Chain A
Amino acid sequence: MAIALHGVGVSFGPVEAARDISLAIPSGEFVSLLGPSGCGKSTLLSVVAGLETASQGSVTVTGQAGMVFQEAALFPWRTLIGNVAFGLEMRGDRRLSKSERLARAADALRLVHLSRFADSYPHQLSGGMRQRAALARALVLDPDILLMDEPFGALDAQTRSLLQAELLTIWERTRKTVLFVTHSLDEALFLSDRIVLLSARPGRVVGDYWIDAPRPRDPRTDAALAALRSRLLAQLSHEIETVARAEHDTDWHAETDAPRVPPPPPVLENVGADI
């Protein structure tokens, strides 16, 4: 197992972010953590990354992990290649000479097709390009595990589906273990081997689905995938409603105050679209 969680609970003072989460992820698997906003999925990722500590349970991570955030978080004062090389500088890879580091950073940039912009500064690039550079910074360490925290959440729909396809290509080539946090059902369906559905806070595992549909996936042509999507959507809507109820006054009702129009579409208009 690349990642193993046993009865993990995370609390911040009185706020319980996640409760009793057990999850075993074999290496090479692409797993999406799906759930409504504030369900503790990002917190869980931080626990796996070692940025937060679990209040209960045990976390076992085998191998090195690289992280990609929603914001590209590139240093504006470094060029792209300098940003990618940062990953190498920090991981104590002092044995590598500067030229070796730059060579490996250049390789990583090639992987995300940004070689031409190696000497550009982040502010000269589009959001999608910056996010690809952030991916290169995680990949340059050749980690066993990629932890991605809504990496495409801030991008427009077109750029988003482009980057999703690019991520799949890279994943198919490198077969890294990926733990991918998203609140987009369609994104999770398009990318993952497995979708772990989390409940509203405190986050608990309420669904664990393996998807064996061939890639590239399209629920419009794949009936089994469309059926799975409907099931997941129903379950997810329930969780979203729970969150919404917690965020509204008590006189609020989903059926009357936020009637779902149009009803959940049975077909996909856009792979990258949010739910």
Chain B
Amino acid sequence: MKSPTIPLPVRPLRISANRGRDSEHPTEGAPPAGTERRPPRAAPRLASGATSWLVPILLLLTWEVASATGILPARILPAPGSVWRAAADLAISGDLWRHLAVSAARAVTGLLIGGGLGFAFGILTGASRFAEGLLDGTVQMLRTIPNLALIPLVIVWFGIGEEAKVFLIAVGVFFPLYLNTYHGVRSVDQSLIEMARSYGLGGTALFRQVLLPGAIPSILVGLRFALGSMWLTLIAAEALAAESGIGFMTTTAREFMQTDVVLVGTILYALLGKLADSLAKLLERRLLPWHTAYQPTPTTRP
């Protein structure tokens, strides 16, 4: 009586259900009711984990093999091993750390100046209708200028020194922080403001107790956008002209055809960007334990 078509729709369904859960909670380790369900759950997870690493590893291997056999000339793309050695040499000589420190200092200075101003202006226009009318239109107008388009003007103003780089970065981070701070303050729940007023809150107390905490999720989104803009501008500014920094390191290496060092610089930018993003995420988790979007596990109502 058993028809072969009956079990068919059941099996693919179960597999897809398992996959869906694993991809959503890759670290979820608590076993469900029955232990006999674990093997089928663990197997696809292992498989999908290995699958995602398969292509990068294969690429690296191909790269290494192609370099070793001479198919890929070292001046186009040096072997992964020699990139690693170049990085190690630079680290031992101390050049890596020196350039890294210079670049990081530029980035952080620009972020503090531009981000601080963006935050302050955002608070101002968010909290005061008068300031909004006075400033927001102008800021929105200036926002349409890509900050890298300012490079010629910046060179005329500041030359090619540190000020030019910091200025470009400051401009790059100003707008995302301004916009999101302004929007964050504006979108604070009106009923909270009304409630706080009924308790006699106003002025700075209202700002400190209600507007600022309410705006923080949005401000942090702005910060993450600003960090992206910060690295992008830094790279462009350092490629322009520099006497130190990662950009200087890679530009010099390019002139001497040291492709391995160029790659080290490229990877460093990627790592720095990732690091900054991770720090911003950590900040979100620290500052927003109350926010559903930043909970490590989905919360359920009791």
**A-side interface residues toward B, CB under 8 Å?**
49, 51, 67, 69, 71, 73, 75-79, 86-87, 90-91, 117, 120-126
Q: Across the interface, do B201 and A90 meet the contact criterion of CB distance under 8 Å?
A: yes
Contacts of B302 in A (CB 8 A): 117, 120, 124-125
What CA separation (Å) do A52 and B159 show in the bound complex? 58
Interchain CB contact (< 8 A) of A125 among B191, B213, B292, B301? B301
Do A123 and B290 contact each other (CB < 8 Å), given the known contacts A71-B191, A75-B192? yes
Interchain CB contact (< 8 A) of A76 among B198, B291, B299? B291
How many residues of chain B are within 8 Å of chain A by beta carbon?
25
Chain B nearest CB from A89 CB (Å) reads 8
Q: Across the interface, do B291 and A73 meet the contact criterion of CB distance under 8 Å?
A: no
What CA separation (Å) do A137 and B289 show in the bound complex? 22
Cβ contacts A to B, 24 pairs, < 8 Å: A49-B198, A51-B197, A67-B198, A69-B198, A73-B189, A73-B191, A73-B192, A75-B192, A76-B291, A77-B213, A77-B288, A77-B290, A77-B291, A90-B196, A90-B199, A90-B201, A121-B290, A122-B290, A123-B290, A123-B291, A123-B292, A124-B300, A124-B302, A125-B301
Interchain CB contact (< 8 A) of B301 among A73, A79, A124? A124
For the complex, is B200 an interface residue (Cβ under 8 Å from A)? yes
Contacts of A122 in B (CB 8 A): 290
Residue of B nearest to A51 (CB): B198
Lowest 9 CB-CB distances: which A-B pairs, in order?
A73-B195, A90-B199, A71-B191, A73-B191, A121-B290, A77-B290, A77-B213, A67-B198, A76-B290
What CA separation (Å) do A121 and B302 show in the bound complex? 11
Chain A nearest CB from B213 CB (Å) reads 5
Residue of A nearest to B299 (CB): A124
The interface bits of chain B over 193-209 (1 if a CB of A lies within 8 angstroms of the residue's CB, else 0) are 01111111100000001
What CA separation (Å) do A47 and B291 show in the bound complex? 34
Chain A nearest CB from B138 CB (Å) reads 32
Residue of A nearest to B189 (CB): A73
The interface bits of chain B over 204-236 (1 if a CB of A lies within 8 angstroms of the residue's CB, else 0) are 000001100110100000000000000000000
Do A75 and B301 contact each other (CB < 8 Å), given the known contacts A86-B199, A90-B200? no
Contacts of B292 in A (CB 8 A): 123
